[in-house]
Amino acid sequence: MTKFLPLVCAAFLFSLSPVMAANEGETLQMTLPEGYEKGFSDGNAQQQIVEFVPIGQSVQDWQELLTVQVFYGLNTVPARQFAQTLMDRAADSCAGAAGNLIRNEPENGYDVSLFMVSCPGDGAEVRPEWTIFKGIAGKDSFYLVHKAWAYRPDREAVVEWSQFLYGVGLCDTRRDDAPCIAKD
């Protein structure tokens, strides 16, 4: 959860076309949803982050937020362990927080977890936040894509964004067992 967890963040440069993290090596493939624009990006040698908001919102006062993080060199943590750590930290940071592992199975040769974390907020210092995450344990780095709402999303929104996250993938131009396939 971007506002409640002490995550160290990292950035990607994105466009409206499919996102490719690199021309060679591990490549995060994601198409930016229509109606979203980049609101923030930052990074260094260890990590990068880029945050997207619906047009008309800002990263300072968002109702919905799409975030991509890359943790360079973090290549020994299984996706399920990363998910559990994030869920535990949410519980430590927000009274009433809950986490749920939705799926943990390989995709394109990578260990992947899909999970959701909710923080009801306290109405004063901690704002509510519901977030669905996709964590991909790469061979070079760890990749985290997450969609957050500053309110409790309805079932249709969770299903829609879960399907979006299922479409986010990692490939590697150096590996035959993790091919990069052009996406429309």
What does the chain come to in residues? 184
DSSP state of 107: B
Burial class (CB in 10 A: 0-12, 13-18, 19+), 156: exposed
SS3 letters across 82-102: HHHHHHHHHHHHCCCCEEEEE
Where is average pLDDT lowest: 23-27, 54-58, 173-177? 23-27
Q: Give the separation between CA 133 and CA 2, rounded to whole angstroms.
A: 11
Q: Is the pLDDT of residue 1 over 50?
A: no
Question: Do residues 134 and 112 make contact, with C-beta atoms less than 8 angstroms apart?
Answer: yes
More confident residue, 124 or 162: 162
Q: Are 72 and 47 in contact (CB under 8 A)?
A: yes
What are the boundaries of each domain within the chain? 18-172
> Who contacts 114 (Cβ-Cβ below 8 Å, separation ≥6)?
101, 102, 103, 104, 132, 133, 134, 162, 165, 166
CATH class of the domain comprising 18-172: alpha beta
In this predicted structure, the answer to whether residue 104 has a pLDDT above a threshold of 60 is yes
pLDDT score of 6: 29
In terms of Cα–Cα distance, which of 138, 74, 75 is closest to 106?
Answer: 138
